Amino acid sequence: MSRKPTDRRILVFQGAAALSDFRRRKLLDELRHIAPSLSLLDAVYIHMAEVDGAWDEGDADRLAAVLGHASPSFAPERTDGLFLVTPRIGTISPWSSKATDIARLCGIDSLLRLERGIAYTLSPADARERQ
């Protein structure tokens, strides 16, 4: 059975923190050499899942469990200062190949592809102090 392109959609899941406190401070120091007023607020993994029309909530729950996080969807509170770092369009990373295979072995058959990126949220230091 062939799948129609309209049967496909992309879901974005939020994962755990992408940087340790040490790496976060190091990146912030490097960024401040370029723009002294910047403050790194957050860096989290995001997982992008290409799924077919058979995808259901049970699949979403299983995938969240496989990925190790409770909140299945990525919905940033603000988009100004949001930077997404992902593999180039048209490429499939080694992480994606392995993760997709693992998810399918866990019974998530409607998953077509899984990819990982990092969502960075930056803002001026004075804006962070007002929050």
DSSP codes, 29-90: HHHHHH-TTEEEEEEEEEEEEEE-TT--HHHHHHHHHHHT-S------S--TTEEEE-PPTT
* pLDDT over 90 percentage in the chain: 40
Query: 25: helix, coil or strand?
Result: helix
Q: Which helix (H) or strand (E) holds 127?
A: helix 125-130
Residue 114, pLDDT > 90, answer yes
Sign of CA dihedral 77, 79, 85, 86: positive
Q: What is the pLDDT of residues 64-84, one digit of tens each?
A: 888 887 666 787 777 788 999
DSSP codes, 85-113: E-PPTT---HHHHHHHHHHHHTT-TTEEE
Token readout for 116 is 């990982």
- What pTM does this model have? 0.80
- Fill in the amino acid letter for 82: L
The per-residue pLDDT of the chain, averaged, comes to 85
Q: What is the pLDDT of residues 11-43, one digit of tens each?
A: 888 888 999 999 999 999 998 898 888 877 789
Token readout for 41 is 């607020």
Give the mean model confidence (pLDDT) for residues 82-100: 91
- Fill in the amino acid letter for 129: E
